[in-house]
């Protein structure tokens, strides 16, 4: 790899990791304790200069990654699809979210490869283009049929998405963030993974519609004749509550429907009462006037902020299953798997707890001896790391 190629790879990676930490150039430079200036960091990110090994190591430590991750050009390119047009996220937070999503999806592709699940993936990205808002109904039905979901309500949206090779990502972010979709392509432009993203901590009914809304953005292309946000909402609602099933449950037309009935329908479809009112209005089951009456009733009861019968949020499971599979097959170490999924596995937690308890039972002198031996072993492993030694040009010598 030439110096120019190294600089180009480092620049993009460094900027992605910095933004995912919501750090400015000034903040990253300051975090090094004067080791490097803001101007130097800027040059690194623009590929104009390569940091010395000591500086590279410091930057990697601040950003919580390996130095080799900063230098290695990624095997995939992550495209974060546009935030919702009405998103009120500040630019800095948008950059942080984009960086986090890029990092997380890149890690998921690694996990796919390590767990032997990186075969060709039939993900219908931008496959459909509605020419009218009503066409989103048939598009949602087509996707459901192609996934063999039947006509009944979906019990777990995250399971359905993950089963069909779409990663479900959750982020700790501001309340103004609703969601987004992202696609990962290899160097040939082949789609290797896709993801839908939602904010962590939402009640289940909001989370489910957010995810299917972003699925709409993922599978549908923008059309000059259709508002893409309205189209994604219509798709998401139709995916959760197919029109034929809703008409069977509720009726083709209703002069009146109570809030109690809507709360029961909320449990059946996993959609909020507010979303169900939109759904019934869009299908012509209730008229605009009756929808307005229902909105007034909801406001009077304070349901706009907190509805009764909140559903438990769904939890993605694929990454943990894939991590244990990769660990069992020896393609990832426990530490590598935990780094990818972002949490400790029960196996390592149990082993660490057992080791600590056994250590504390030993006499003090024996404890110190074992700790010294562990430290020396870790030091030797570090010095024998060929990847790290290559990065440093092989000139790292053990301290005397």
Q: 169 by DSSP, 3-state: which?
A: strand
- How much is the pLDDT for 399? 42
Give the sign of the dihedral formed by CA 58, CA 15, CA 196, CA 72: negative
Q: 296 exposed, middle or buried (CB, 10 Å; 0-12, 13-18, 19+)?
A: exposed
Question: CATH says 1-73 is which class?
Answer: mainly alpha
Q: 54 pLDDT band (50/70/90 cuts)?
A: very high
Contacts of 129 (CB under 8 A, 6+ apart): 220, 221, 222, 223
pLDDT digits (tens, 9 = 90+) for 66-116: 888 888 777 788 998 867 654 678 888 888 898 899 989 988 999 999 998
Each domain of the chain, given as residue ranges in start order, spans 1-73
Confidence check: pLDDT of 120 > 70:
no
Q: 379 pLDDT band (50/70/90 cuts)?
A: low
pTM (two decimals): 0.81
pLDDT digits (tens, 9 = 90+) for 1-44: 455 555 567 888 899 889 888 899 999 999 999 999 999 999 99
- How much is the pLDDT for 362? 78
Confidence check: pLDDT of 351 > 50:
no
Interatomic CA distance for residues 174 and 205, integer angstroms: 19
Give the whole-number percent of the chain exceeding pLDDT 70. 86
pLDDT digits (tens, 9 = 90+) for 254-276: 999 999 999 999 999 999 999 99
- How much is the pLDDT for 318? 94
Tell me the two tokens of residue 2: 């030439």
Q: Name the least confident of 111-120, 196-205, 322-331, 340-349.
A: 340-349
- How much is the pLDDT for 355? 59
Interatomic CA distance for residues 280 and 241, integer angstroms: 10
Cβ neighbours around 109 below 10 Å, total = 20
Mean pLDDT of the chain, nearest integer: 86
pLDDT digits (tens, 9 = 90+) for 133-190: 999 999 999 999 999 999 999 999 999 999 999 999 999 888 888 889 999 998 888 8
Phi, psi of 322 (to 5 degrees): -65, -35
Where is 244: in which H helix or E strand?
helix 243-250
């Amino acid at each position: 790899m030439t110096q120019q190629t190294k600089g180009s790879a480092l620049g993009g990676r460094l900027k992605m990791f910095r933004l995912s930490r919501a750090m400015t150039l000034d903040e990253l430079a300051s975090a090094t304790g004067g080791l490097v200036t803001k101007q130097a960091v800027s040059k690194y990110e623009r590929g104009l200069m390569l940091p010395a090994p000591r500086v590279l190591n410091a930057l990697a430590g601040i950003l919580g990654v390996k130095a080799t991750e900063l230098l290695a050009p990624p095997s995939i390119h992550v495209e974060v699809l546009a935030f919702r047009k009405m998103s009120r996220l500040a630019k800095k937070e948008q950059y942080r979210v984009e960086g986090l999503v890029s990092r997380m999806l890149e890690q998921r592709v690694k996990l796919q490869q390590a767990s032997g699940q990186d075969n060709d993936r039939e993900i219908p990205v931008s496959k459909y283009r509605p020419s009218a808002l009503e066409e989103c109904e048939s598009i949602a039905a087509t996707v459901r049929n192609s996934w063999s979901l039947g006509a009944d309500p979906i019990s777990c949206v995250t399971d359905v998405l993950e089963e069909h090779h779409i990663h479900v990502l959750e982020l700790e972010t501001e309340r103004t963030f609703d969601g987004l979709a992202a696609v990962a392509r290899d160097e040939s432009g082949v789609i290797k993974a896709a993801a839908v993203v939602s904010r962590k901590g939402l009640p289940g009914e909001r989370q489910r519609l957010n995810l299917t809304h972003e699925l709409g953005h993922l599978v549908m292309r923008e059309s000059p004749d259709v508002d893409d946000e309205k189209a994604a909402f219509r798709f998401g609602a139709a995916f959760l509550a197919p029109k034929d099933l809703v008409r069977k449950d509720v009726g083709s037309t209703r002069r009146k429907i109570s809030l109690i009935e809507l709360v029961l329908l909320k449990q059946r479809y996993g959609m909020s009462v507010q979303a169900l009112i939109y759904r019934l209005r869009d299908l012509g089951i209730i008229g605009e006037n009756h929808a307005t009456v229902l909105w007034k009733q909801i406001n009077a009861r304070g349901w706009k902020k907190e509805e009764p019968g909140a559903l438990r949020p769904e939890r993605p499971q694929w990454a943990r299953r894939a991590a244990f599979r990769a660990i069992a097959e020896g393609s990832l170490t426990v530490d590598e798997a935990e780094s990818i999924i972002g949490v400790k596995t029960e196996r390592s937690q149990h082993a660490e707890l057992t080791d600590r308890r056994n250590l504390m039972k030993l006499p003090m002198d024996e404890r110190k001896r074992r700790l010294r031996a562990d430290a020396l072993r870790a030091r030797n492993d570090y010095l024998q790391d060929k990847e790290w030694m290559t990065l440093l040009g092989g000139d790292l010598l053990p301290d005397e």
